[in-house]
């Protein structure tokens, strides 16, 4: 017989955004019965989420401090004409840690695993097996909505492998972009995170016009890169793949409606991600803290609150969409690396604010002035033809 559970707040999808909301509410509103309904058997799937120190404000760190598994004081980038060390802390959260912390924080009866959600309304979650969860408020955090039909996109796609190595690699800090590799399928770079003395995470990444990912071929390039660096794998501990949206333009309201107009949303489902990287962790932290500060957690209020929050974020990201239009539409695919190389020649504070999505007016002016790495005529045409302003 179908069962019904009732609670104060139910979160559909125990991924990054859903888990962070549950943890923020456990801290700020311990009186509430908050539940997570997740399709898989774990919280957070198979992920490593990384972020720069400046992405998270001092007052927001309490939410993720205990989730951080790896921390470094700086990182480097490498381009054909420049190698640079940047003194900006870098951190990684692993999904196994997020899973463990959520299980420590929420009592077992508040976590439902292996449950396929069929429908979400502002106050109900209907499961495929006929079970129901009713709540004062529901937040839908089940990952992306209909991105392709509502937005104009480029893609960041990658295959990453976490290797246990035969010998110590000797790399102290992450290489966030090694763009000295052969340029294939757009802008290509390798990302390397030293997770331990004999452990290295290597990811081969493409800023591509298409979302197709040849996992086998890219996996082989990961292995070839590791071999070329002298990092001999003993064992592959984990592999992850990703195809993330890079927004050039689109219609935010259509995107929001693609997963139901009157329902509260979080994470990728709310369109909350950095437009130039597709990364969503900093936005997920901010939204979780903002929700935990709301007194009214009814479905109707949360729907309006999360919609208005995400719509304001979308409006504030026009500059990034315009740069993405330049990168994907004005620069030829094999020349895209020049745009990024030029960007990394700018000041470290400007770079820090850029990734945090907090570029100032002088930052924007600085990014746009100087010798353009794309043909001016082409740039003007692209600016006219794409919907980055929307
Ligand atoms: C491999 C990879 C690496 C990434 N690395 C980074 C990074 O380093 N830094 C960063 O900021 N961003 C990163 N991102 C981008 C982004 O932050 C992640 O995709 C992030 O997990 C998105 O969070 P989310 O909560 O919106 O969605 P998810 O974390 O994907 O969570 C959605 C959850 O909903 C569940 N679900 C979906 N449908 C149903 C259903 N019908 N019934 C029940 N449950 C359902 C899923 O099982 C999942 O657990 C990465 C993405 C990928 C794919």
156 vs 352, more confident? 156
388 vs 144, more confident? 144
Tell me the pLDDT band of 341, cut-offs 50, 70 and 90. Answer: confident
Contact of 233 with 164, CB cutoff 8 Å: yes
**pLDDT at residue 353 is higher than 80:** yes
Q: What is the DSSP track for 251-268?
A: -HHHHHHTT-TTSEE-GG
Question: What average pLDDT score do residues 99-112 get?
Answer: 98
* pLDDT given at position 326: 87
Residues pairing with 117 in the sheet: 127
pTM score: 0.95
Q: What is the pLDDT of residues 255-283, one digit of tens each?
A: 999 999 999 999 999 999 999 999 999 99
The Cα–Cα gap between 262 and 259 comes to 9
Tell me the pLDDT band of 219, cut-offs 50, 70 and 90. Answer: very high
Which are the contacts of 118, defined by CB distance < 8 A and separation ≥ 6?
A: 126, 127, 128
Q: What is the DSSP track for 52-103?
A: EGGGS-GGGGGGTGGGEEEEES-EEEEETTEEEEE---EEEEEHHHHHHHHH
- Which helix (H) or strand (E) segment holds residue 104: the answer is helix 95-105
Mean pLDDT, the chain, integer: 94
282 vs 383, more confident? 282
Nearest alpha-carbon partner for 280 in 320, 246, 305, 303:
246
**pLDDT at residue 305 is higher than 70:** yes
Question: What average pLDDT score do residues 141-152 get?
Answer: 96
Tell me the pLDDT band of 372, cut-offs 50, 70 and 90. Answer: low
Tell me the pLDDT band of 187, cut-offs 50, 70 and 90. Answer: very high
- Which helix (H) or strand (E) segment holds residue 245: the answer is strand 233-250
Distance 232 CA to ligand 1 centre (A): 30
**pLDDT at residue 116 is higher than 90:** yes
Distance 347 CA to ligand 1 centre (A): 32
Question: What average pLDDT score do residues 35-59 get?
Answer: 95
From residue 211, alpha-carbon distances to 23, 149, 158, 215, 270 in Å are 33, 14, 10, 12, 20
* pLDDT given at position 25: 98
Pocket of ligand 1 contains residue 117 by CB under 6 Å: yes
Q: What is the DSSP track for 5-63?
A: EEEEEEEE--SHHHHHHHHHHHHH-TTS-EEEE-SSSSSS-S-EEEEEGGGS-GGGGGG
Contact of 186 with 260, CB cutoff 8 Å: no
**pLDDT at residue 82 is higher than 90:** no
Q: Per the structure block, which two tokens stand in for 321?
A: 């969409």
Q: How many CA atoms lie within 13 A of 330 on its CB side?
A: 25
Pocket of ligand 1 contains residue 280 by CB under 6 Å: yes
Tell me the pLDDT band of 348, cut-offs 50, 70 and 90. Answer: confident
The Cα–Cα gap between 279 and 268 comes to 9
Which range among 7-11, 154-158, 256-260, 365-369 shows the weakest confidence by mean pLDDT?
365-369
The Cα–Cα gap between 50 and 158 comes to 14
310 vs 3, more confident? 310
Pocket of ligand 1 contains residue 45 by CB under 6 Å: yes
Question: What average pLDDT score do residues 122-133 get?
Answer: 97
**pLDDT at residue 227 is higher than 70:** yes
The Cα–Cα gap between 367 and 246 comes to 18
76 vs 374, more confident? 76
Question: What average pLDDT score do residues 151-160 get?
Answer: 96
Contact of 275 with 321, CB cutoff 8 Å: yes
* pLDDT given at position 141: 98
Pairing relation of β-strands 68-72 and 90-94? antiparallel
Distance 270 CA to ligand 1 centre (A): 12
* pLDDT given at position 382: 75
Angle at 251 between CA 245 and CA 255, to 5 degrees: 65
* pLDDT given at position 362: 85
Atom 20 in ligand 1: which residue has the minimum CA distance?
Answer: 16
Q: What is the DSSP track for 171-222?
A: --S-EEEETTSPP-SSEEEEEEEEEETTEEEEEEEEEESS----HHHHHHHH
Atom 53 in ligand 1: which residue has the minimum CA distance?
Answer: 242
Contact of 22 with 138, CB cutoff 8 Å: no
Atom 29 in ligand 1: which residue has the minimum CA distance?
Answer: 15
Pocket of ligand 1 contains residue 242 by CB under 6 Å: yes
The Cα–Cα gap between 177 and 335 comes to 16
* pLDDT given at position 374: 72
Residue whose entry in the numeric block shows the structure tokens 């919907």: 387
* pLDDT given at position 166: 98
Distance 143 CA to ligand 1 centre (A): 6
């Amino acid at each position: 017989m179908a069962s019904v559970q009732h609670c104060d707040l139910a979160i559909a999808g125990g991924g990054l955004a859903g888990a962070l909301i549950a943890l923020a509410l456990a801290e700020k509103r311990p009186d509430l019965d908050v539940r997570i309904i997740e399709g898989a058997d774990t919280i957070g799937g198979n992920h490593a989420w990384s972020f720069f120190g400046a992405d998270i404000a001092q007052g927001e760190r309490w939410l993720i401090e205990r989730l951080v598994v790896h921390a470094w004081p700086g990182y480097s980038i490498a381009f054909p004409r420049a190698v640079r060390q940047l003194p900006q802390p870098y951190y990684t959260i692993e999904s196994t840690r997020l899973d463990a912390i959520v299980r420590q924080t929420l009592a077992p009866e508040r976590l439902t695993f292996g449950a396929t959600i069929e429908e979400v309304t502002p106050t109900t979650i209907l499961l495929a097996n006929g079970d129901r969860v009713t709540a004062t408020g529901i937040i839908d955090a089940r990952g992306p909505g209909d991105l392709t039909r509502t937005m104009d996109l480029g893609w960041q796609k990658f295959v990453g492998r976490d290797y246990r190595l035969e010998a110590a690699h000797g790399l102290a800090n992450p290489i966030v972009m090694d763009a000295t590799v052969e340029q294939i399928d757009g802008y290509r770079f390798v990302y390397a995170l030293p997770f331990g003395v004999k452990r290295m995470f290597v990811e081969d990444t493409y800023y591509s016009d298409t979302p197709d990912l040849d996992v086998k071929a890219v996996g082989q390039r990961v292995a070839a890169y590791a071999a070329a660096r002298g990092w001999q794998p003993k064992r592959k501990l984990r592999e992850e793949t990703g195809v993330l949206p890079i927004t050039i333009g689109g219609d935010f309201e259509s995107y929001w409606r693609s997963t139901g107009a009157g329902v509260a949303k979080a994470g990728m489902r709310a369109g909350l991600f950095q437009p130039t990287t597709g990364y969503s962790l900093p936005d997920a932290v901010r939204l979780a803290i903002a929700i935990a500060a709301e007194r009214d957690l009814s479905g109707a209020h949360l729907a309006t609150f999360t919609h208005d929050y995400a719509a304001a974020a979308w409006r504030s990201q026009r500059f990034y969409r315009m740069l993405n239009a330049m990168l994907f539409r004005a620069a030829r695919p094999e020349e895209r690396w020049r745009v990024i190389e030029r960007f990394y020649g700018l000041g470290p504070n400007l770079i820090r604010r850029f990734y945090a999505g907090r570029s100032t007016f002088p930052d924007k002016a600085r990014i746009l002035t100087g010798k353009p790495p794309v043909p001016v005529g082409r740039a003007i045409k692209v600016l006219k033809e794409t919907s980055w302003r929307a």
